[in-house]
A and B are shown apart, each in its own frame.
Chain A
């Protein structure tokens, strides 16, 4: 009797342990192949202004400038995994004067690493004249971008027909950044 019980107990334990050790082929090293590629988009700079915004004491101001600090590239995760970036601008101009936008990328020592310029053409008939620009950052240009800590914007009114408070029209700009990440395990 005792022997039978011992035998059954042993059998059960062997049965249980054999079940728990059953596996099919798995390969946990595959985790090293992990590669995810999220694409993030974020709104950037925008404005929507009438001619009034370019007048001081009813006289045109030919250049409006500002700059802002950029913290995102102080983050190693972003710098290490960013493989491409795009800055996309979309503008509409219904003012009789053309405008030019300068965008410059500066590092901590205020050294200009990269810049680009695009024009928003004048409207001759008051209708919205579309304009656009896509700046693509890859390779060396991407390195310049990720070393950037400050971006300056300059909006210049180009020479042309005289303007005053009564000049109709608007100048609109929208922009976004697209960040292509590639994160490897």
Chain B
């Protein structure tokens, strides 16, 4: 059972921002749930510095497993690393850079019940699954692997760079319910996509000869935005900037969310992010290798035995079979990719109001200082959805300083501890968040690290008192 859970969670290519989710002191938390009411009149992100996010994740063997300076033979370590990895282990990178963002509240002067936010960010996603069978073939060859299929469906790779323009609107419907919607326009700078490969190569004992080599290969890689980058009149840098501004392959999507205040202390919220697609029509270059052939050797002395064909036909057939097998079919067929949909939901309990030192009593109208809760994150992948569960504790240390600690169980580890803080110095807001603190004692042995930080300028509502 445990094995099953581990295996089924292994498709995780997480864009989980468990520390930022619900951290409403940071305006960028609106990108994780559009149905949050920010406690400010307006804000703007310091351009290019408002949200810097990077997440690197690997499952299976770590950099340290392979490159540790431990006097163990390097090739032994490579061998062990390959043995310890499965075809569902992967390397992944997810990076985001907010170029600009802003937001402001709307509504009557006594109750601002609407919030509009907008911005532009750039995102990079990369995932490469470990093709274990091909690694074994490269390490050992087929001699010791007769009858063992080398599955080419393990070759799975996806990479995308895109810019996202967005406008979000959140509205407090009543005291209990706030809803939000964010529209997005995607402009893909470049896309590489090879996730639906099939096939295998296997050597089996043959009838006519020692072996039959069975090739059954169906590999396809689709790319957009790369083939049109190396033209004579193209300056790649300028071209990329043009694509950020709607010049790439365009797509549409939305985020939707809600916040339900159950009572003074309990809230339940949820969001669905990046429900959308990108239509790839420009700079398309797709490559496909598809073939089926069983090679048993050649019979040059009696080429026509049995079949009655001429020697020339015999040779032509073998040649055609091999050429057909490894011939790369290039097309410019347009295609559509779906954005990975992300689901966030959380149940939160607020407690512990501020106490007054003079009377040792609590302030009735004051805000709760602590919050604890559970968050669930799920994300679609081509194979199966992935999940992460987080427990957190949030504390308002001062009016201007808030911290959050998280404990997350996901496919990278069962003990991922994250910490985040947000501080306001005058109007300037600074936040920084990172996770996997338990593993950070040796960063090379870490399977996943994520870091988010940024600066905003926040204009706070005047306090009534």
Chain A residues packing against B (C-beta within 8 Å): 1-2, 4-6, 8-9, 12-13, 16, 19-28, 30-31, 33-36, 38-49, 53, 64-68, 88, 90, 153, 155, 174-176, 178-179, 181
Contacts and interface: CB of A to CB of B under 8 A. Distances in A.
A31 B81 CA distance: 14
Given A46-B296, A47-B299, A19 B437 contact: yes
B205 to A, nearest CB: 10
A8 B203 CA distance: 64
B98 interface: no
A66 B211 contact: no
A43 B68 contact: no
Given A16-B434, A27-B67, A43-B210, A4 B137 contact: no
Secondary structure type dominating chain B contacts: mixed
Contact of A66 (B296, B300, B400): B300
B425 A2 contact: yes
- Residue picked from A9, A64, A65, A181, most chain B C-beta under 10 Å: A9
Interface of B: 63-64, 66-70, 73-75, 78, 137-144, 146, 203, 206, 208-213, 295-303, 305, 311, 315, 397-398, 400-401, 419, 421, 423-426, 430, 432, 434, 437, 440-445, 449, 451
Given A33-B74, A41-B141, A176-B211, 5 more contacts: A22-B442, A23-B443, A39-B141, A43-B209, A44-B297
A22 B443 contact: yes
Contact of B434 (A19, A44, A181): A19
A9 B423 CA distance: 7
A179 B209 CA distance: 17
Which 9 A-B pairs have CB atoms at the shortest separation, nearest pair first?
A38-B141, A43-B297, A66-B300, A25-B69, A46-B209, A39-B143, A27-B69, A39-B141, A33-B74
Contacts of A24: 64, 68, 442, 444-445
Nearest to B322: A71
Given A1-B398, A6-B425, A20-B440, A174 B209 contact: yes
Contacts of A88: 210
Contacts of A53: 302, 305
A12 B421 contact: yes
Nearest to A4: B398
- Residue picked from B74, B209, B441, most chain A C-beta under 10 Å: B209
A176 B445 CA distance: 44
A128 to B, nearest CB: 16
Given A8-B423, A176-B211, A13 B432 contact: yes
Nearest to B318: A68
A89 B274 CA distance: 61
B103 to A, nearest CB: 23
Given A49-B302, A153-B301, A33 B75 contact: yes
Nearest to A3: B425
A20 B450 CA distance: 11
A155 B301 contact: yes
Contacts of B142: 39-41
A5 B140 contact: no
Nearest to B63: A26
7 contacts: A4-B398, A22-B442, A24-B445, A45-B297, A45-B298, A46-B209, A64-B301
Contact of A19 (B78, B146, B440): B440
A41 B432 contact: no
Contact of A47 (B210, B305, B400): B305
Contacts of A6: 423, 425
A52 B58 CA distance: 63
Contacts of B425: 2, 5-6, 9
B297 A5 contact: no
B300 A5 contact: no
Contacts of B441: 19, 22
B209 A20 contact: no
Contacts of B305: 47-49, 53
Nearest to A13: B432
A46 B74 contact: no
B320 to A, nearest CB: 15
B140 A38 contact: yes
Contacts of A45: 297-301
A39 B143 CA distance: 6
